[in-house]
Amino acid sequence: MDKIVFATSNINKLREAQSILKDLPYQVIGLDEFPNIPEIKETGKTLLDNSLIKARTVYNLIGLPSIGDDTGLEVEYLNGAPGVKSARYAGGNAAYKDNLNKLLKDLDGVPLGKRKAQFRTVISFVNALTEQWVEGIVEGIIIDKPRGSGGFGYDPIFYLPELKKTFAEIPMDEKNKISHRGLALEKFRILLGKFYLTK
Residues 6+ apart with CB under 8 A from 76: 114, 115, 116, 117
Nearest approach, Cβ of residue 194 and ligand ITT (Å): 26
198 binds ligand ITT (CB under 6 A): no
In this chain, which of 151, 160, 172, 183 binds ligand ITT, going by CB under 6 A?
151
- How many Å apart are CA 69 and CA 50, to the nearest integer? 8
Which CB, 117 or 192, lies closer to ligand ITT?
Answer: 117
User: Is 69 marked active-site?
Assistant: no
71 binds ligand ITT (CB under 6 A): yes
- How many Å apart are CA 64 and CA 73, to the nearest integer? 29
Using CB under 6 A, which residues numbered 161 to 180 contact ligand ITT? 167, 179
- How many Å apart are CA 120 and CA 127, to the nearest integer? 23
In this chain, which of 59, 154, 159, 188 binds ligand ITT, going by CB under 6 A?
154
124 binds ligand ITT (CB under 6 A): no
Helix axes 180-195, 11-20, angle to 10 degrees: 50
96 binds ligand ITT (CB under 6 A): yes
Q: Work out the burial of residue 145: count CB atoms within 10 Å of its CB; fewer than 13 is exposed, 13-18 middle, 19 or more buried.
A: exposed
Residues at the contact surface with ligand ITT, assessed by CB under 6 A: 8-10, 13, 42, 69-71, 73, 86-87, 96, 99, 151-155, 167, 179, 181
Q: What residues act catalytically? A: 70
